[in-house]
Amino acid sequence: MGAPRCSRARGAGEARVIQTKARLGDVVDFRYGQGLPASARVEGPVPVFGSGGLVGRHSEACVVGPVLVLARKGSIGAIYWVPSNAYPIDTTYWAAPGAEVDKRWLYYWLHTVDFRGLSSGSGVPSLRRDDLNDLEISLPPKRQQQKIAEVLGALDDKIAANRRAAQTGRELILAQWSRLVSDAEETREWSTFVETNPKVPAVKDGTAPYLDMKNLPENGLLVEEWGERPPQGGARFQNGDTLFARITPCFENRKHGYVDFLDDGEVGYGSTEYIVFRAREGVSAAIPFVVTATADFRSFAAQHRTGTSGRQRVQAPDLVSYEAAWPGDLRAVEFGAFAEPLIARLGAARDENRVLAKTRDELLPLLMSGKITVRDAEKRVEGVV
C-alpha cells in the first residue's frame, strides 16, 4: 500500500481536521466469532451475540469488552456495541482496531457503510472478510474520533439507560402482581374481566399506525418502533390493549406488548397473528398484560394450539375459559393505581428515546463527513440529553 492520502474537513468556526484515507483491513482486524451452540452454553452473565443480536448468555467470555460485533451471515449490516465482555459466535466478526482507530468511533463509522452491495451468497446472505477489508476509510486524528464517539455515545448511553429502566419497570409490575396473587383464594374466568379480540372500528381512509410482528417486544412491555400505512386488514387495537403473538415461533419467543403509542381514540393495525386483549370496564388496563405474561396463562394457551408442529397457533376462543388467580377487587384496584402511572412514565422514557435516536441518526453522517463541528453537535445533544 502506498503512502496514506490526506484530506481536510472543516465545519464553520472550527480548525481544519486532517483525515487520512486508508484501506479498512490495514487499520482494523476483523476476527471470526467462535462456535457456541445453545446446547453447549452454561448460563452466566456473559452476553452471547449472533448475527441477529443477543441470542443468550454464557458463563465465560471469549472477547474482552467493550466489543464491536458485526454480522457475518444472515443479518448483513447489523452492528452491535457491547460495553461488557462478550461471546460473539461464528455468524459474526468482532473488530480489533489498530492504535490509530477508536473502537467506538469505528462502530459509528460502520453505520455509514452500505453493506447491501457487499452481500454475497445465493442462499443465506454473507459478508466476506476480503470485501470488508477492501473498504476505504477516512480517519480523523484519534482525539477527534474520540470526541465524535463521545457526542454520539452520550445519546446511545441515555437510550440504553432508559431501556434498562423499562426492563426494571416491567419486572416491578410483574412482581407486584405475583405478590398480590401469591395467596389468592379466588379465581376469575378470563371472559369476566377481559375482552378477547374486541370490536374496533375500521379506518376508512388515509393511513393508520401499523405494528409489524418484528416490532412487538420479546419479554418486554412497551413497543419502541411502529410505522404508518394504509389499512389493509389484520388485528385492530387501541391504547390500553394488550397484544399477544399466537403463532410459532413468536409465541415461544414471548412476543407480547402493551399498547400506549396511539392518540386517544386512534385505531392501530397489526399482524393477523395477534390476539388482542382488553380490560373490561372497572378493571385496570395493566391486568390483561400481567396475566398473559404469567407461566400459568402461557401454559394454558400452549395447550390450546392447533396446526403442524412448525406452524401452530393459539386459538383465541379457547382462552375465554381460563381461570386466573384473582387478588380480590380492592387489591386489583390498588394494583392498577401502582402499575398505570409507572407504565406512563416508561412510555415517556420511550418517547424520549425516539427523540434521542432521531438526533443521533441526524448527527452521525454530518459528523463523519465533517459537515458539522463537534462543538455544534454538542450543543444539539445538550438540548435533548
Query: pLDDT by residue (tens digit) across 348-385?
Result: 999 999 999 999 999 999 999 999 999 999 999 988 87
Q: What is the pLDDT of residue 13?
A: 44
Task: Work out how many domains the chain is built from and give that number.
Answer: 2
Between 11 and 359, the higher pLDDT residue = 359
pLDDT exceeds 70 at position 295 = yes
Quick one: pLDDT band at residue 3, thresholds 50, 70, 90?
A: very low
Of the chain, the percentage scoring pLDDT greater than 70 comes to 95
> What value does the mean pLDDT take over residues 316-331?
95
Domain boundary among 81, 105, 139: 139
| 291 and 213 inside one domain | yes
pLDDT exceeds 50 at position 71 = yes
In a domain, 284, yes or no: yes
Q: Each residue of 171-180: pLDDT tens digit? A: 999 999 999 9
| 130 and 235 inside one domain | no
In a domain, 56, yes or no: yes
Quick one: pLDDT band at residue 17, thresholds 50, 70, 90?
A: low
pLDDT exceeds 90 at position 68 = yes
pLDDT exceeds 60 at position 6 = no
Quick one: pLDDT band at residue 5, thresholds 50, 70, 90?
A: low
Q: Each residue of 26-65: pLDDT tens digit? A: 999 999 999 999 999 999 999 999 999 999 999 999 999 9
Quick one: pLDDT band at residue 77, thresholds 50, 70, 90?
A: confident
In 3-state terms the chain splits into helix, strand, coil percentages (rounded to 5) of: 35, 25, 35
pLDDT exceeds 60 at position 280 = yes
Domain boundary among 326, 345, 371: 326
Residue whose cell numbers read 403463532? 247
pLDDT exceeds 90 at position 122 = no
- Nearest one of 335, 324, 273, 264 to 298, comparing CA atoms: 324
Domain boundary among 326, 353, 375: 326
Pairwise CA distance, residues 177 & 331, whole Å: 9
Q: Each residue of 164-211: pLDDT tens digit? A: 999 999 999 999 999 999 999 999 999 999 999 999 999 988 999 999
Pairwise CA distance, residues 211 & 188, whole Å: 31
Spatial CB neighbours of 2, under 8 Å, sequence gap ≥ 6: none
| 297 and 205 inside one domain | yes
Pairwise CA distance, residues 211 & 223, whole Å: 9
Quick one: pLDDT band at residue 11, thresholds 50, 70, 90?
A: very low
| 300 and 208 inside one domain | yes
> What value does the mean pLDDT take over residues 106-114?
96
| 322 and 234 inside one domain | yes
| 87 and 202 inside one domain | no
Q: What is the pLDDT of residue 117?
A: 81
End-to-end CA distance of the chain: 43
Q: What is the pLDDT of residue 118?
A: 83
In a domain, 192, yes or no: yes
pTM of the model: 0.86
In a domain, 209, yes or no: yes
| 309 and 214 inside one domain | yes
CATH number at residue 214: 3.90.220.20
In a domain, 171, yes or no: no
Mean pLDDT of the chain: 93
In a domain, 313, yes or no: yes
Quick one: pLDDT band at residue 2, thresholds 50, 70, 90?
A: very low
| 243 and 299 inside one domain | yes
Look up the domain containing 50 and give its range: 24-139
| 195 and 308 inside one domain | yes
Quick one: pLDDT band at residue 116, thresholds 50, 70, 90?
A: confident
In a domain, 300, yes or no: yes
Q: What is the pLDDT of residue 195?
A: 97
Q: Each residue of 230-269: pLDDT tens digit? A: 998 899 999 999 999 999 999 999 999 999 999 999 999 9
In a domain, 126, yes or no: yes
- Nearest one of 72, 69, 55 to 125, comparing CA atoms: 72
